[in-house]
């Protein structure tokens, strides 16, 4: 079993293609590409922390996605009967990650690493995939080649940074 994180799929949302300059001709092509990437990388027993904005209608997409999904609510999510969290603290090999959709909602007292989304690829200088100085990862799909990121990869990036210092 592996553990992954991702954010901001926006399945079924045609306007996101233009808003984030996604490389798709239409919403059907985007949906197929993202779902295929997901299911190619995620096995049925893998855990995925989806850090917001799956779709306006998540119940339509959940059955199409492999893995055991833990939902952290995004600003576009409207969950009816789906268990979800507003934030989540994930422990991995001695590192605690604060998972929250919008990085503006990371509490000031949190001094550890955070994993977020929300800003997509719109401000890559302020919200890059790996922000060493602010101890933050932006896992919006535009920043991760439209596929979930293995938490082990994130762990290795952090450990490499700590070895360099």
Q: What's the pLDDT score for residue 79?
A: 79
Question: In the prediction, which pLDDT does 17 show?
Answer: 97
Tell me the pLDDT band of 165, cut-offs 50, 70 and 90: very low
Domains in the chain, CATH or no CATH each: 3-164 (3.60.21.10)
- pLDDT > 70 fraction of the chain, expressed in percent and rounded: 97
Structure tokens belonging to residue 139: 């896992």
What pLDDT does 160 receive? 84
pLDDT-wise least confident of 2-6, 10-14, 72-76, 79-83: 79-83
Residue-wise pLDDT tens digits, 10-62: 999 999 999 999 999 999 999 999 999 999 999 999 999 999 999 988 889 99
Could you identify the residue written with the tokens 């690829």? 121
Convert 86-109 to b/e letters by CB count within 10 Å (16 or more is b): ebbebeeeeeebbbbbebeebeee
pLDDT level of residue 140 (50, 70, 90 thresholds) = very high
CA distance readout (Å), 152 to 9, 31, 83, 119: 21, 26, 25, 23
Query: In the prediction, which pLDDT does 161 show?
Result: 64
Mean pLDDT value of segment 114-127: 94
**Nearest Cα to 117, choosing from 107, 104, 108?**
104
96 close to 112: Cβ distance less than 8 angstroms = yes
């Amino acid at each position: 079993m592996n553990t992954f994180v991702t954010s901001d799929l926006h399945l079924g949302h045609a306007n996101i293609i233009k808003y984030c300059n996604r490389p798709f001709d239409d919403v059907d092509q985007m949906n197929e590409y993202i779902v295929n990437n997901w299911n190619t990388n995620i096995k049925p027993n893998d855990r995925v922390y989806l850090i917001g904005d799956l779709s306006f209608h998540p119940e339509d997409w959940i059955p199409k996605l492999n893995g055991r999904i833990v939902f952290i609510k995004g600003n576009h999510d409207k969950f009816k009967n789906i268990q979800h969290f507003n934030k989540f603290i994930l422990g991995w090999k001695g590192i605690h990650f604060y998972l929250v959709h919008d990085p503006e909602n990371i509490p000031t007292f949190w001094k550890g690493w955070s994993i977020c989304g929300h800003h997509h690829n719109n401000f890559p200088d302020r919200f890059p995939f790996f922000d060493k100085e602010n101890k933050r990862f932006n896992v919006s799909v535009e920043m991760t080649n439209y596929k979930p990121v293995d938490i082990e990869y994130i762990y290795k990036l952090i450990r490499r940074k700590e070895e360099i210092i």
